[in-house]
Structure 1
Amino acid sequence: MGRQARQLTKGFTACLTGKQERGTDRKVRRHSIDVDDRRARVSRPIGDGTTAGALSWIDCLLKAVSEWDDEERARGGARPLGLHGLRVLEAILGRRGKVAIDFRSGRLDPQLVTIARAAKVTKTTVVRALARLKAMKVLDWIRRTERTGNDGSFGPLRRQVSNSYFFTPEALPARVAQRLRDLLARRRLRRSGTMPPGSRKAFAQPSSPELRDLLDRMEAGIARASEGVNASPPYGQYPLSGVEG
């Protein structure tokens, strides 16, 4: 009772003197930025921003990171990411549903509990996996806050909201970044016959349309077999404009 009385007295005093107690917004994380601040606008288009280009980019990023994880293990070291980390990456890329990602703008701001539900892991596992992904230069994020609207009344002035995530392929280790570019080049070559900048020179394509088609089908089959459960779902798990699948 004594503590409650002191809190009430403190609140009334704050109202009378105009000095508002900040309350629970003292728990706002350090280095957080207001959602309307220009510095919080970190979203980048996924791939080229189109549905086809984004889905291709997502597949290639997952493959490059998965291969990197396997290579480190094959060398006798610890996996830098591990199974749960890969599941978290799949989830945040929309591969497991629940997480909305806008391909055109790159807006990606799911709550940790949403990522955990999508990946079927605990929130603590998500936090640890995100820390590893950040250390690996796969992605990064900005912590954000927003005003509560309690100005002029007793109560917290700001509250923490979900992070805004963005991918950083340009910061990957050189060999991993090159592998990603090569995978994207092969996808683009199959679709349009052109190579994106920065990719290694592609192998010569046969002049026969039948042989080209055969090679494309063989490569697609190999990719599906190697990706296994990572194969792209037919629809609904890559929602646009904030609509959940």
Structure 2
Amino acid sequence: MFSAIGDIAGQPTRAERRTYQPVRRNSRAVGRETGFWRPVTRKEVEAVILAAEKLELATKRAGRGKGHRNGALGAVAIEILRLFQNVVDFRTGRLDPSIDYLMDRLQRSRGAIVAALKALRDHGFLDWLRRYVPTGGQGARGPQVQQTSNAYRLTLPQRARVMLGRYFQPAPVPDDHSHRQEQQAAEIEAHRAGLTELERTMLDVDPDDGVGAALIRMAQARAARKERESSTQTESLI
């Protein structure tokens, strides 16, 4: 998920680029997002949102008293990230809502949405790919196409990843769980102490494995030898 846009593969073909239609530069045909979208987990998306919120809060505090109501990202940017969390396809990473969709869902102006998207990209939390679709018409210079919604991808800047270092570490094991594990280990050792060498060997090794089978045979031989020695000692006492 968190990779550079330079890794994107599948550039438009020469024929696709030379349609001479009024689409934005570096746009790609819909369906050619190969390498841009990748599967993403809910935790990864939550990490992006959390880091963005921390940056917004820190920069907002730094700007207090200087006439700044927002931080580096702004409230609308945080709203967009939270909405993206609800519409992204975690299995494929697909994320391509239109500006009109964002305006309708968030009840924000086009200018506010565009500015927030730009702030997210400028600070490393978002990347996008411009796209176009064919209209079905045929012009004098080739197939007619039109601009469509961007393909978006959430990213996590390295400085934000460092800031959220603990977020990516396994949660500490609760004390009661550790105590329960210690009790179970003690019970297992107590049970093993009551077993013979042969029984412990058969419990510890795989009899289908060559080494395991050899260890079992050795333990069986020692057990048989001890049994013979015990029988001899018993006979001598009679």
Question: Percentage identity across aligned positions?
Answer: 27
Checking the alignment, whether the CA contact within 8 Å between 2:53 and 2:78 is kept in structure 1 is yes
Q: Structure 1 residues 75 and 142, CA, compared in 2 at 3 Å: closer, same or farther?
A: same
Checking the alignment, whether the CA contact within 8 Å between 1:88 and 1:116 is kept in structure 2 is no
Q: How far is the alpha carbon of 1:58 from its aligned partner?
A: 2.7
CA root-mean-square deviation: 2.9
Matching of residues 48-127 of structure 1 within 5 Å: 54=42, 56-76=43-63, 79-94=71-86, 100-127=87-114
Checking the alignment, whether the CA contact within 8 Å between 2:131 and 2:148 is kept in structure 1 is yes
Which residue of structure 1 lines up, in the alignment, with residue 39 of structure 2? Answer: 45
Which residue of structure 2 lines up, in the alignment, with residue 29 of structure 1? Answer: 24
Larger radius of gyration: 2
Distance 1:166 1:116 in 2: 19
Q: Structure 1 residues 205 and 81, CA, compared in 2 at 3 Å: closer, same or farther?
A: same
Q: How far is the alpha carbon of 1:210 from its aligned partner?
A: 9.4
2:138 partner SS: coil
Correspondence for 1:131 among 118, 126, 134? 118
Q: Structure 1 residues 211 and 88, CA, compared in 2 at 3 Å: closer, same or farther?
A: farther
Q: Structure 1 residues 103 and 92, CA, compared in 2 at 3 Å: closer, same or farther?
A: same
Q: How far is the alpha carbon of 1:179 from its aligned partner?
A: 2.8
Q: How far is the alpha carbon of 1:107 from its aligned partner?
A: 0.3
Q: How far is the alpha carbon of 1:184 from its aligned partner?
A: 3.4
Note the alpha carbon deviations across 1:152-211, whole angstroms, 9 max, x for none. Answer: 789961111110001221xx142x1123342233xxx34xxxxxxxxxxxxx64431399
The structure showing larger relative contact order (alpha-carbon pairs under 8 Å, at least 6 residues apart) is 1
Correspondence for 1:209 among 160, 170, 177? 177
Question: Structure 2: 5+ residue runs without aligned partners?
Answer: 1-18, 181-238
Query: TM-score, normalized by length of structure 2?
Result: 0.57
Distance 1:211 1:115 in 2: 50
Q: Structure 1 residues 177 and 151, CA, compared in 2 at 3 Å: closer, same or farther?
A: same
Which residue of structure 2 lines up, in the alignment, with residue 230 of structure 1? Answer: none
Query: TM-score, normalized by length of structure 1?
Result: 0.56
Which residue of structure 2 lines up, in the alignment, with residue 226 of structure 1? Answer: none
Question: Structure 1: 5+ residue runs without aligned partners?
Answer: 1-21, 48-53, 95-99, 191-203, 213-245
Which residue of structure 2 lines up, in the alignment, with residue 229 of structure 1? Answer: none
